[in-house]
Amino acid sequence: MKELLLGNEAVARGLYEAGVKVVSSYPGTPSTEITETAAKYDEIYCEWAPNEKVAAEVAAGASFAGARSFCAQKHVGLNVAADPLFTMSYIGVNGGMVFGVADDPGLHSSQNEQDSRNYAIAAKMPMLEPADSAECRDYTKLAFDLSEEFDTPVFVRLTTRISHSRSPVELHEREEHELKPYEKNPAKNVMLPAFAKPKHHKVEERLVKLADWAETSGINTVEDNGAEIGVIAAGAVYQYAKEVLGDTVNYLKLGMVHPLPLHMIQNFASKVKEVYVIEELDDVIETFCRKNGIAVHGKDVFPRCDEFSQNVIRACMLKEEPEVMSVDVETPMRPPVMCCGCPHRGLFYTLKKAKVYVSGDIGCYTLGASAPLSAIDTCVCMGASVSALHGYNKARGKEAEQKSVAVIGDSTFMHSGVTGLINIAYNQSNSVVIILDNSITGMTGHQQNPTTGYNIKGDPTAKVDLEALCRAVGINRVRVVDPYDLKAVDAALKEELAAEEPSVIISRRPCALLKYVKHKPSLVVDTEKCIGCKACLGIGCPAISVKNGKAAIDYTQCVGCGVCTTLCPKTAITEQEVQA
């Protein structure tokens, strides 16, 4: 039987068919659907961990126990998981252990463009890269076999286009794997320096064996079209090249992108006049070829930044530009915005009005950086808002403390914000941290987290009490506000900024898109009262616009949150429809 599956769904199917028992991940686009789909198989224990480091360590523990285990993350999540990852490369596995990492060329939903192949090289671990959904399933299953055969964790690398594209996948039955016996072996599993030193030599020997395997296993394939030009590519880029170049070139399609098959590449290059390495982001394959004396074209032809497409390859290799219809119309920009009724909107409006420095973080609330709110000053990575605010205030002193805050979501706070708050309490800066508790992990698609009281399957579980947690780490001033109540938010902000000790404000209201949230009827504008001052536009709500010089509210979008009513100087926005 075949099904049309997303690449991520196909990876999950591979986990099921490979007999995986434990999956632990933290959600992050474009990897999220792997774990969400895996959780639908009752044979697999799945969980959302507080962060990627914890998830990797859970997978490691399951491997120690003799089970096949898996950990998924996006590319920046791999940074968080790097600590256990590098040491697990030395330790190896008992049950097979696989890391799924989804890169995001083009920054569709990320703060940087990373190439995770560099992690495979640095950690000296094998990495497979599928080019369609069928290979996602096949390579995931293969990764577990390789893991156990070569005593190593294995990467399966995806990119956004592979993760979120569909293609046919043939489904097979699950192959159960009994737990491998656990044997106490400190020399293998305890990485004291004396034990770790010889392990490095074994890791290097393992890479040589894996490179030999890559030469003959069939995962890397040559398509000989009798051409004078050869193309080396992997993943989505291989698909783009095939669409553009067809059978006018020869192909070396790489399924294993680390370690690379040197002899196979040398033999492929010897049969053509020119070789083009087409790879998104970093010049990993190109550098390998040049280091081994193989002349290739790479970044001298193709860009280093942004994701590739058929048109990029066509322009770079064939010097052809696509035919496009030009329209002499100025198209307005449509940047992403917070949803109608988003509980973060009123808070950011208050912060902007207060003219404070806002140390930002990763989540829906990052959209508070956009006009007209323009409230966020910085955004680095998960949890950085809290730590960076402390550093900012230590550098600039008391005056800055009274004009600066950090904002962080409930899930992000549990991910890595709490340690920054501990640092504020321990090292004493009078910093104000605002936790935006919308009762869910929002931007990645409504996943549960330790503050919601539900696990990945929606079953009730322990719920972190944010107020109690903040007090437990040394914060005495903790208060909760409703972000729809702008007066209360403004009062809380002024009081906490004036305080002579660190404090936490919890801005608490559920995400407007949660199914259990009951909305009020749409608000309306009394056009006789409206003076066209556009004050209501200051909150950037997509439901509000201006028509014929007067404010207008789209009843199909408005959820009746009422935040805009406090902005109108003429009380022209009402809850009841004005009678004609």
Per-residue pLDDT reduced to its tens digit, 414-446? 999 999 999 999 999 999 999 999 999 998 999
Of 486, 479, 571, 488, whose CA–CA distance to 524 is shortest?
Answer: 571
pLDDT by 10s per residue, the chain, length 580: 899 999 999 999 999 999 999 999 999 999 999 999 999 999 999 999 999 999 999 999 999 999 999 999 999 999 999 999 999 999 999 999 999 999 999 999 899 999 999 999 999 999 999 999 999 999 999 999 999 999 999 999 999 999 999 999 999 999 999 999 999 999 999 999 999 999 999 999 999 999 999 999 999 999 999 999 999 999 999 999 999 999 999 999 999 999 999 999 999 999 999 999 999 999 999 999 999 999 999 999 999 999 999 999 999 999 988 787 777 787 777 778 899 999 999 999 999 999 999 999 999 999 999 999 999 999 999 999 999 999 999 999 999 999 999 999 999 999 999 999 999 999 999 999 999 999 999 989 999 999 999 999 999 999 999 999 999 999 999 999 999 999 999 999 999 999 999 999 999 999 999 999 999 999 999 999 999 999 999 999 999 999 999 999 999 999 999 999 999 999 999 986 544 4
Residue type, 251: Y
DSSP state of 560: -
3.40.50.2000, 2.40.30.10, 3.10.20.740, 3.40.50.970: CATH of 343-508: 3.40.50.970
CA 449, CA 526: separation in Å to the nearest integer? 42
Q: Quick check: do 2-214 and 524-574 share a fold?
A: no
Query: What phi-psi label fits residue 321: left (phi over 0), alpha (psi between -120 and 50 degrees) or beta?
Result: beta
Of 177, 145, 174, 133, whose CA–CA distance to 17 is shortest?
Answer: 174
Return the domain boundaries, the chain: 2-214, 221-318, 343-508, 524-574
Q: Three-class SS of residue 440? A: coil
The CA-to-CA distance between both ends of the chain, in Å, stands at: 61
Q: Which CATH class is domain 221-318?
A: alpha beta
Query: What phi-psi label fits residue 285: left (phi over 0), alpha (psi between -120 and 50 degrees) or beta?
Result: alpha
The answer for residues whose C-beta is within 8 angstroms of residue 43's C-beta and 6 or more apart is 16, 21, 174
Fold adopted by 2-214: Rossmann fold (3.40.50)
Are the beta carbons of 53 and 99 closer than 8 angstroms? no
Domain 524-574 sits in CATH at 3.30.70.20
Cis geometry, peptide bond prior to residue 198 (ω within 30 degrees of 0)? no
pTM value is 0.94
